[in-house]
Structure 1
Amino acid sequence: MMTRYSFKTGECLRLDGIDYRISQVNSDILELTSFGDGSLSLRNVEDLLSQYANGQLMFVQPTKLDKEQVQAEDRAVVDRGLADFPEKIQRLALRKFKFLREICPDGRMSVPRALLSDLLRGVWDKLDPEIRGERPPCVASFYEWRRSWVWADFDVRALIDKWELRGKKPSLLPDKLVELIDEGIEKVYLTPQRESLREVRDWVQHEIEKENRRRAPEDALPRATGRMLRRAISRIDRFAILKTRYGERYAQGATRIYGKGPVCTRPLERVEVDHTPLDILVIDSSTGLLLGRPWITVMIDAYSRMIIGIHISFRKPSVRSVLRCLKHAILPKTYVKERFPNVSGEWAAYGLIDQLVCDNGLEFHAQDLEAACAELGIHVIYCPTRAPQMKGRIERVLKTLNYGLVHLQPGTTFAKYDKRHAYDSERTAVLTLKALEEIIHRWIVDVYSVTFHRGIQATPKQKWEEGVAKFPRRLPPSTDVVNVYLGNSAKRKLNKNGIEVHALQYASPALQELRRRRGDIEVTVRNDPDNLGSIFVFDEEAKQYIEAKCTLPEYADGITAEQHAWIRSKARKEYGVSPLPLALLAAKSALRDDTTRLIQECYPTKKRPKPGKPAIDDREALMQREEARQGQLPLEPEMEPGEASGMPDTSLNDEPDIPLFPVRRGTIPPSAARGFN
């Protein structure tokens, strides 16, 4: 039974780190005297009880008030109880306690010493055989129990046998041997080389041999043993050992206790993002060739643990991966049922984010990401360097994704190479990128979001729905805003051909109106890398973006920047291996040879004379004749706008085509002339 306290005169208590003594009790008002400065204060009993229940007040024994003051967090300790001792010690202490409670419950002896022996036997007969022991205790032992119990304010722990202090007294080592052991630990063990205890023992033993040569045989030092070394090392602080051998960062991680992360009060208040390579090999859908391991970028809501955005790609993490994942997180996932009909649930996680938590990767420090988040009102938070625990939720879900889903699929590479054993990842790989995306979508919607999460004591879907019921999700004015702010930004020249981006031409009536007002200027262009069908051009006068469509909509609509780059690269490679480049070089060489021959035949010995100028009337007649001849030449077959000629369609509003070759003034049809207005 531990010590009991009450609000009475003379009791000592500790309130908010300050020690007091109750000097006077007047009904429900207590007069407290501070041990520090002797000041007096009046406190209400109800207020003190409330502070006691909140852990701000604790009773202390007067003997402990003389010790050196310690910090408040160090004072909040509780001594070990009876249950913390071995079962046999508990049983013996309870045996003593039962004898004392039966004979002298208040500590006062009410029977004479001569009758105590018979009374002890009577109590012994009534006790449980498992507790009472083989025979009743003697009178002397009982009096000793009673004295310890009363002096400890009837605390049952005073009856515990001090068995933990038993044992042979350790023999003291010679001072010189202790000095050599400490020196060996410091020079050999506490080093970045991390040498073993065996090396320490060998070093110490060598020093002992050298020392014994100078000593008499009867004063020789004993051999150093591993037990001596381990006992000496146990006296050193563990953090100091880890810091010296492995570095301060490792020591902090090995000795740190990770508490609960930042508390969130609503969905999308704090979203964590990170990348990881998926532990699986993906094949090409048409050829069946191995394409490698894809990367995935994931965003998770810290409030509900709901995954709100993903992006899967074969390219390593970049700012484009983050922006695409952010776009996926903001916009509603209405495509799921259409693209993946096997997904039975709904992915209802979307909306603007308040805080985006990321690490210090280069892609997260990119200017495009910071500018896009600033325009959307998203605050980017960077965790300290090498501190993944600051965004532990995303680290945990990425591990769950790999271990709980990807490692169960054919073609998995597992987390480490040595975990594969005889499993052939390349031979068993059968999943395409589209199939992998469908599996991940099904896992997120139908498995992860409806699985009980012990961190939030609910499923992520339930927690999300509870949060959005109180705090509705917020969306941008339109998807164009997301496409503009989260797209690629660049400077381009506006000219008569419109604007060229990714070797594609873009034009629109609004863009033509901008050129009519401003002329050929440099403008800011934003485009969605997931859809090259249109771009957005910033009009500095109107302070807004205008849209321009690609002149090849049948090609550009829905195509990504990566797909377009691959198509162009493939076209260049196919052209390079075809006979066309060789024929082009031969034609250019033959044309140069013919030109040189004509010059030599006409003017073999002197320079070509300067041509004369005809009269004004004759000059106009000659021009008319040359233009008539030019019109009779079969230059090129007529093509529809946008065909394989490679020339983009620059016509707007169904106007007639403008000739691509120079035309003299007065020869342009009136309908075509309107195209320049």
Structure 2
Amino acid sequence: MAWFYAAEWPTFAPPLTPRLDLSLEDRLNYRGTSMRLERRRGEYLDFVDGITGELLTITDTALSELIFTGLASVERNGIDDKAVAEARAYRDLSVYSKDEVGVARRKLAYVRGLIAANLLYRPQTKDVEEAIAKVAADLGDLGDAIPKPYLAKRWLQLALRRAKASHDGKTPSVADLIERHASKGRNKPWHDYETRQIIQDLIEKRYLTTERISVETLVSEVRDHIRKSIGPNAKLPGRKAVQAEIDSLPQQEVARRRYGEFVAFGKFAAVERQPDPEAPLDVIEIDHTPADVFVIDGRDGVPIGRPWIAIAIDRCTRMPLGISAGFDPPSAHSVMQCLRNAVMPKTYVQRYVDAGVWDVRGDWPAWGRPRLLRCDRARENIGTDLDVLAESLPIKVLDVKAGRRPYHKGAIERFLGTLNRTLLQEQRGTTFSSIADRGDYDPKKNAVLTFEDFLERLHIWLIDVYMRREHRELRDTPLAVWNRKVLQHKIAPIDNAADILPLFGRVEHRILRRTGIQFANLFYTSPELVALRGNRKFMRSLEYVDHKRKVRFRYDTSDLGAIHVYLPHERRHIRVPIERSRRKYATGLSWWAHKQICREAIARVGRNVDQAALDDAKARLGRSLTADTPEGMLIRGRKKMARIRQIGGVTPYGDSVRTSPADSFDDLLAAEVERELESQEEAVLLAEERATSTPIRRKSATGGKRSSPKTVKDEARHSSEPQEAYDPSDDDIDYYGEDAPAP
């Protein structure tokens, strides 16, 4: 290693700084300020602001850094901004086909041949032909493939002009000779300034309004305004001219002015994709949709209407987690039913399969307590019921997104669309997605699905089709992703179902009195509840509602037979049944039916409604439900009757396979139908006995002596009173039996 004394250190030449090719006519645009080049002093450039006179001294290297960071740009003198923007737009060759780039490369070869021969300004045709022939020999062009001299000179001038706008103006590139078809044609407006100003004013005042007049109406108003302001002989614009002015405006602003912020945002605004969670049950999305199919009544075959479906889906695995279907509109009750189905195992599916009711091949392994529940700002989601449920389960986060923003919960929105398209719109009685798609198809006349059939096909599609079909974003089936994820992340179990089930009810507060709790004209009481009045811990722990200590309880809108009262000092619920005198009335009665019964009772007896009036109204309501549905009844009325009957009022969960509460109107109607069938069978047997004239023995009205054997036919002929149905238990003996005495 060589060592040097300080006096002997070698001297190195300073590095050479590249000089930028700038002229005094060029301007620098620095942070929005336009500056002209005053002079160059070696490696320094002096730029002066023409308005303030401010001086900016900068080196070539620093100026290059500002240009590459976007803080500054150079404006070439004699080149308009439109030419520069056009040159930048055609600089990317990846957007063109191979043939277009190949033609441009061939043109560039002839242009470079002319430049190499120094034939830039007014060359002789003979010299141009010699240069073209030399390039053609190198390229192998023959015959018509060899360009004419005038065409080669045109390519040269075009390449130089475009190169000046795009870079240094001396060395043309392939991008300078690409065919720019979009720039061809007339680029100037057809109408004068005054006509265009009238069109723009009327677009602002009449077209960009919420009244949303049509383009035809706008054209008529423009023409009328031109005739009045310019004259009857003025050149009138057509629809294309007016439409061109509209299209030149920002379309997002046009949509906002005509249709509102929501439509404009949905069509034009950028949307950020929601990230997918890492573990199952981290994020659950829930939403409602009306089914795109009509359902008929299994009792008389009359179309009821379109049932509502509430579905909860796991965002991580896209597995359906819970479902609720029925004729209740979206409400807190339907949300609770869906969540109850979600957190409990779906063992009811196997019970239906074992009983031969459903033909489902697979199983539904998805269940568990979610950590975050995502929903929109619908009325059923912003009440206190869902908040209290989230605190009680517990669900750590209740994420309520803004209304009318489907992209905030895109997984469930896409799932509901897939459900309607691939299942429901392929069934008879479908309503399709719109009236335009429906055409002349009448879903009411073609409806054949009962609610039970609808529920079965829904489960078949969920379990046997959707879960086992490859998902486009997952690149795997939802079932496979779920099974793989649950091995990595454990599912939080339900420790005690008895503690969980009371949570899926609506919350109310009432004062605890000696008679119990009064709610909706009904009284709920039990010895355990009344004894709590003497429990000081319980009374002190009650909540203050409307400045009074009140008991918090939950009730199931599908069954008013009992409520669940919360004991805050023990953190548990107790079941409190309805009072004994009203137990027969309220057991299995829904909130919808009770409201209708109270409405009819008040209409008959006024506000002084007692139990007798409620029983009478319930009996009349039951008779109206048993009667045949009038043909002229609207779908709204039929859906209301289905709600009162509680068709689909309860979603199956766990081992429970019921779709309506016990002793509900649906059960009462089923019992009524069964009794009617039994009476019809007895009538058939009685008719057969009358036809065969079978003698019978009946008890005598006096002393129990046997009367002489008669035929049923003779009795009916001699009797003037209507006959009762035949009852075998009334026979004294079988006259022709083995034990019959001899006559």
How many Å apart are 1:403 and its aligned residue? 1.9
Q: Which residue of 2 aligns with 1:243?
A: 256
How many Å apart are 1:348 and its aligned residue? 1.5
What is the SS of the residue equivalent to 1:344?
Answer: coil
Q: Which residue of 1 aligns with 2:403?
A: 385
| More off after superposition, 314-323 vs 263-272 | 263-272
2:374 to 341, 357, 363: 357
TM-score, with normalisation over the residues of structure 1? 0.63
8 Å CA contact 1:307–1:349 kept in 2: the answer is: yes
8 Å CA contact 2:510–2:518 kept in 1: the answer is: yes
- Report 1:585-596 matches (<5 A): none
Q: Which residue of 2 aligns with 1:344?
A: 361
How many Å apart are 1:10 and its aligned residue? 4.8
8 Å CA contact 1:281–1:425 kept in 2: the answer is: yes
Distance in 1, Cα, partners of 2:348 & 2:268: 47
Q: Which residue of 1 aligns with 2:301?
A: 288
8 Å CA contact 2:159–2:176 kept in 1: the answer is: no
Q: Which residue of 1 aligns with 2:566?
A: 538
Does residue 426 of the first structure (1) align with residue 459 of the second (2)?
no
1:374 to 376, 391, 408: 391
What is the SS of the residue equivalent to 1:356?
Answer: strand
Superposed CA RMSD in Å reads 5.0
1:157 to 175, 179, 199: 175
Does residue 92 of the first structure (1) align with residue 136 of the second (2)?
no
User: Using a 3 Å threshold, how does the CA distance of structure 1 residues 348 and 561 change in structure 2: closer, same or farther?
Assistant: farther
What is the SS of the residue equivalent to 1:351?
Answer: coil
How many Å apart are 1:398 and its aligned residue? 1.5
Q: Which residue of 1 aligns with 2:340?
A: 327
2:133 to 104, 110, 121: 121
Say which structure, 1 or 2, has more relative contact order (CA 8 Å, 6+ apart): 2
Distance in 2, Cα, partners of 1:133 & 1:517: 106
8 Å CA contact 2:90–2:175 kept in 1: the answer is: no
- Report 1:40-189 matches (<5 A): 64=74, 80-82=91-93, 84=95, 90-98=101-109, 120-121=132-133, 123-125=135-137, 127=139, 133-135=145-147, 151=169, 155-161=173-179, 164-167=182-185, 170=188, 173-189=191-207
User: Using a 3 Å threshold, how does the CA distance of structure 1 residues 332 and 224 change in structure 2: closer, same or farther?
Assistant: same
Distance in 2, Cα, partners of 1:444 & 1:398: 12
TM-score, with normalisation over the residues of structure 2? 0.58
Q: Could you list the runs of 5+ residues in structure 1 that have no partner in the other structure?
A: 1-7, 19-32, 43-47, 49-56, 68-73, 579-677
Q: Which residue of 1 aligns with 2:616?
A: 572
What is the SS of the residue equivalent to 2:467?
Answer: helix
Q: Which residue of 2 aligns with 1:255?
A: 268
Identical aligned pairs, as a percentage? 27
Does residue 477 of the first structure (1) align with residue 488 of the second (2)?
no
8 Å CA contact 2:502–2:564 kept in 1: the answer is: yes
How many Å apart are 1:89 and its aligned residue? 5.2
- Report 1:517-536 matches (<5 A): 523-527=551-555, 536=564
User: Using a 3 Å threshold, how does the CA distance of structure 1 residues 491 and 463 change in structure 2: closer, same or farther?
Assistant: same
User: Using a 3 Å threshold, how does the CA distance of structure 1 residues 519 and 550 change in structure 2: closer, same or farther?
Assistant: farther
Distance in 1, Cα, partners of 2:423 & 2:496: 35
8 Å CA contact 1:91–1:131 kept in 2: the answer is: no
CA shift digits 1:176-202 (9 cap, x unpaired): 333333333333333333233333333
User: Using a 3 Å threshold, how does the CA distance of structure 1 residues 367 and 141 change in structure 2: closer, same or farther?
Assistant: closer
Distance in 1, Cα, partners of 2:324 & 2:56: 65
1:205 to 214, 223, 246: 223
Q: Which residue of 1 aligns with 2:290?
A: 277
How many Å apart are 1:459 and its aligned residue? 2.0
2:330 alignment partner AA: P
Q: Which residue of 2 aligns with 1:451?
A: 469
Distance in 1, Cα, partners of 2:248 & 2:306: 49
8 Å CA contact 1:483–1:528 kept in 2: the answer is: no
8 Å CA contact 1:493–1:520 kept in 2: the answer is: no
1:411 alignment partner AA: G
Does residue 302 of the first structure (1) align with residue 330 of the second (2)?
no
What is the SS of the residue equivalent to 1:300?
Answer: strand
What is the SS of the residue equivalent to 2:288?
Answer: strand
How many Å apart are 1:367 and its aligned residue? 1.0
Distance in 1, Cα, partners of 2:325 & 2:615: 26
Q: Which residue of 1 aligns with 2:661?
A: none
1:460 to 468, 478, 502: 478
Q: Which residue of 2 aligns with 1:628?
A: none
User: Using a 3 Å threshold, how does the CA distance of structure 1 residues 189 and 538 change in structure 2: closer, same or farther?
Assistant: closer
1:264 alignment partner AA: P
What is the SS of the residue equivalent to 2:211?
Answer: coil
User: Using a 3 Å threshold, how does the CA distance of structure 1 residues 535 and 63 change in structure 2: closer, same or farther?
Assistant: closer
8 Å CA contact 2:524–2:562 kept in 1: the answer is: no
How many Å apart are 1:66 and its aligned residue? 9.2
8 Å CA contact 1:270–1:356 kept in 2: the answer is: yes
2:430 to 388, 402, 412: 412
Q: Which residue of 2 aligns with 1:28?
A: none
2:376 alignment partner AA: D
8 Å CA contact 1:483–1:527 kept in 2: the answer is: no
How many Å apart are 1:464 and its aligned residue? 2.2
- Report 1:617-656 matches (<5 A): none
Q: Could you list the runs of 5+ residues in structure 2 that have no partner in the other structure?
A: 1-15, 21-29, 32-44, 48-54, 78-84, 540-549, 598-613, 623-743
How many Å apart are 1:322 and its aligned residue? 0.6
How many Å apart are 1:576 and its aligned residue? 6.1
8 Å CA contact 2:323–2:338 kept in 1: the answer is: yes
Does residue 562 of the first structure (1) align with residue 574 of the second (2)?
no
User: Using a 3 Å threshold, how does the CA distance of structure 1 residues 143 and 475 change in structure 2: closer, same or farther?
Assistant: same
Distance in 1, Cα, partners of 2:576 & 2:58: 80
User: Using a 3 Å threshold, how does the CA distance of structure 1 residues 173 and 358 change in structure 2: closer, same or farther?
Assistant: same
User: Using a 3 Å threshold, how does the CA distance of structure 1 residues 152 and 342 change in structure 2: closer, same or farther?
Assistant: farther
How many Å apart are 1:337 and its aligned residue? 1.1
How many Å apart are 1:548 and its aligned residue? 6.0
How many Å apart are 1:161 and its aligned residue? 4.9
Distance in 1, Cα, partners of 2:205 & 2:442: 48
How many Å apart are 1:325 and its aligned residue? 0.7
How many Å apart are 1:94 and its aligned residue? 2.1
Distance in 1, Cα, partners of 2:288 & 2:198: 51
1:302 alignment partner AA: R
What is the SS of the residue equivalent to 1:364?
Answer: coil
1:200 alignment partner AA: L
Distance in 1, Cα, partners of 2:621 & 2:332: 35
1:229 to 224, 230, 242: 242
8 Å CA contact 1:267–1:304 kept in 2: the answer is: yes
8 Å CA contact 1:529–1:560 kept in 2: the answer is: no
2:616 alignment partner AA: R
8 Å CA contact 1:92–1:131 kept in 2: the answer is: no
What is the SS of the residue equivalent to 2:590?
Answer: helix
CA shift digits 1:596-652 (9 cap, x unpaired): xxxxxxxxxxxxxxxxxxxxxxxxxxxxxxxxxxxxxxxxxxxxxxxxxxxxxxxxx
CA shift digits 1:185-244 (9 cap, x unpaired): 33333333323333333333333333456x9xxxx6433333432333333222332233
2:441 alignment partner AA: Y
8 Å CA contact 1:273–1:298 kept in 2: the answer is: yes
